[in-house]
Structure 1
Amino acid sequence: MPGKAGRTPRTRASVRKRGNSFQVRVYAGVDPLTGKDSYLTESTRDERKAEKIRTRLLAQVDQQRQAATKATLAYVLDAWLKVHEADPSTLAGYRRAAETRIKPALGHVPVAKITPRVLEEFYAELRRCRARCDGKPNVEHRTSKPHDCHADDKSTRRTCKAHVCRPYAASTIRETHVIISGALSTAVRWGWIQNNPAEVTKKPRQPKPAPKPPTPKQAAQLVEAAMGQDQAWGTLVWLTMITGARRGEIVALRWHDVHLDTGMLEIRRNYVDGIEKDTKTHQIRRIALDDDTCQLLRVHRDRYEEQVRVLDEGPRDDAFVFSYQPDHARPCDPDGVSHRYKAMVDRLGIDTHLHALRHYSATELITAGVDVRTVAGRLGHGGGGTTTLRVYTAWVAESDKLAADILARRVMPARQARSPGTGSAAADSEEEAGWPRGTVT
């Protein structure tokens, strides 16, 4: 029967053949922002799958219309990711986690039925096995097609093996909780559910920081090896070690961030996944440089200027300090820097990684007696040193012990200078008063 004004009612869903594929198209209503008709579409080469896709897309549209009672956690996650404000790399990580960890387990569950018990049992499964197996012995098949489990042909590559449970790291499970909690919080704000069960769920434990910096001897070996490979590479490794800057912050440096006349370095940006963005704490920080580091950077600047002269170009202050291109128009790839560093330390037989240079800078400064707030400022830690104290507790304790020894060395000579005698009687008097026998030097 024709609709209003003689118009035929719109078909909710249709399947049409386009080339070698079948396109499923489902009407999703009028977009409230643009006022235009909105459609969900998906294509497949298998005609038999088209009907399943049509049913799924129709269900998704129905969920949207009755979100308050029928929306699944998968739908809520997708809706939250559309509006959540975060860096592109962070959002990409959240999407991967949602698709690989959360949706396979809880994606089909109506959001109204997510309870603290459901979440805590889910986290317990992740702590036991990332595959969420039933705990019984089983075989991990290399293919779902009929095959010989002991064959080693091109189709299977390897023989099928007995399943070995591999738990997720504590940090990964905690990230999973953050994502679920964020999505459910948005569902509360939009009126889809009354409360956020993740708020009262026992949170996955925060993994304890376990920094493992190289020793001073190893640090010297690392710098020497890097300089031996390439002076520019050696300068990058040295600057990372001296400043404690993050990998992305080092490669994002431009020449106008380096003030050699005043011995100051400005950390303004971070380079991640091919994108320049703010630093992790969204703050600019200024780090003092020593004379040797300034001299290294002057020589590095001379190399850069020589490279651009060969290209008949002039030096630019907005050029990147570290680059594999002659004109320094693009920074070094952060992953490439890490891979090169890993290859170098493997040849040296040192068990370490690039981020450990940041730990080395922090621990050496703290052990030397530099106050925690200053160290936090150089590293770019937020909270006025709270993070620094939490991560480097052992080294702060060592520094505190050193401070006590320094005070004792300063007080004891002055006290003994006032002692009435230096014989055994004076020594016995000191011991009775609680002073250690002998002179502290």
Structure 2
Amino acid sequence: MTWSSALAPLRNRNFAWYFASRFVNTLGNMMASIALAFAVLDITDSPTALGQVLAAHTIPMVALLLYGGVIADRFPRTLVLQFSNVASALSQGAIAVLVLAGHAEIWMLVLLSIVHGAVSGVGFPAMASALPQLVPRSDLQPANALISLTRNGMMVIGPTLGALLVVTVGSGWALAVDALTWALAALLLVPVTIPPKESAGEPADTLRELREGWSFFWATPWLWIVVVGFGVLNLIHAGAWSTLGPAIADDTIGRQGWGFVLSAEAAGFLVTTVVLLRVRLERPLLLGMLGVLLMAPPMLILGVSPHLVGLVIAAFAAGAGTEVFGMGWNLAMQENIEDRMLSRAYSYDALGSFVAIPIGQIAFGPLAAAFGYRPVLITSAVAYVVVVALVLCSRSVRTLPRAPVSEPAPAAQ
């Protein structure tokens, strides 16, 4: 794959506008996470209150993912995204106004976070499934890589920009900037035109469409096996790495050292994305699951001997492997699932993958207190390897190939 072919999706008018929208949206999201955290802490100085505000966003988002999949398979996906972006701009803008005016209270932020989480749940399946309607199948890998490049780049600089805004002008103005990015993301989608959906000839019935989505999900072995596996893997990752990691770092490599580790992980994402712009990924799920396996070593090092250099190297490799999986998973979904079912498939994927994350966040602290950090982390690393191995026992996962290019390219219009 040449650099010309790697950048080919950007010559497609529809994808170029969609890419610009995702770029702006991702930048705002990366800044907003740190801005909202400090806005809450400015009001109460209570980590518990911050957890309540974050949970108020997560719970309705997860609860509405399935409904979002139905909506995105029923209506034009760009329209669904525009609605989600505008509603997010209004909810974030309301939080910013309350914070800037000095009238913000936790219950207000909780209510507005519920609204923001709900519209995010509706919009996520549309965002995940829009790409195959914008580029020809032959351009799916470079298009996904360009989107990943944006996301991973923003993972590196977005929180820094957010922190800079918080320090210089305050968390309220940082949230206001985030609200503007949501509005701009919606505006950038206006020029995107995609073919209208073909009518199935049946009246809309949400429950029937949900059942149809579930039947497809359960009848596709590689799909549900990977999702079930990731339900457990994400639980382990959220508990062992994201929750226990900072606590161990505080007593060993230090907070700045933990920052270096997370930056190395983000660098692994970024470097691998650039590689995948040029290298075609065959056997997407086999290579993806083998890549995910690289998350076990940093957890093991964290539990056995948390030295900075070893953790940085292992985190970089884990980030690279995780990015290989992300690319492989998107290609598997986009190339092997028909368009009319794709949003619902993504919604069941997200629900199964995300639903156990809060369990890991809540459970691993008490587990470490009861049994010690070292045994919990070593057990977590071993369990991670076992789950990946069980997923790879499925022949449908190991042998799923890249789909052949057969359909004509979508018009650039």
Q: One fold, TM greater than 0.5? A: no
Bigger radius of gyration, 1 or 2?
Answer: 1
Q: Per residue, is there more helix in 1 or in 2?
A: 2
Greater strand percent: which structure? 1
Scaled by the length of structure 2, what TM-score is found?
A: 0.23
